[in-house]
Amino acid sequence: MDDELPPENEARKRPDVEREYRSRQGEIVVYWEPKICNHTGNCFRGLPEVFQPQHRPWVLVDAASADKIAAVVMTCPTGALHFERFEAARKNRNQKKQRLTQGLMVRCTFEVECGLSDRAAN
């Protein structure tokens, strides 16, 4: 179709946009926020069959169990990697959505002013 955007213009491919990787079984979705990733490598050292930074897509969620993926994602120090788990509810067969987020890194600048009070100067 003529009105479709070329792949390089898709919002999900911009560097500051969260990327989403879904398993075919629908058990887990892994999210990656490249803007806050500091590339410590816990992910690819922890589960190299899933997290392969040299490939595209670099997160292969069908290469391991959802439990293993969740455990490794929880080691992300910045929270750039996080996930959602989808488990079938036994009683009513509806899906229960549980979002787990691990890690938070806050960057800010601040100033500290120190001075001696009159009492401290004496």
pLDDT digit string (tens) for 8-57? 444 445 556 688 999 888 889 999 999 889 999 999 999 999 999 999 99
The Cα 10–Cα 103 span in angstroms is 28
Among residues 38, 59, 39, 37, the alpha carbon closest in space to that of 49 is found at 59
Q: Does the residue 2 lie in any domain?
A: no
**pLDDT tens-place string over residues 90-119:** 333 344 444 444 455 556 666 767 666 665
- Bridge partner list, 99: 84
- The reported pTM is 0.61
Q: Does the residue 105 lie in any domain?
A: yes
Q: Does the residue 1 lie in any domain?
A: no
Domain of 80, in residue numbers: 7-121
Query: How many domains, in total, are found in the chain?
Result: 1
Q: Does the residue 36 lie in any domain?
A: yes
Do 64 and 47 meet the contact criterion of CB atoms below 8 Å apart? yes
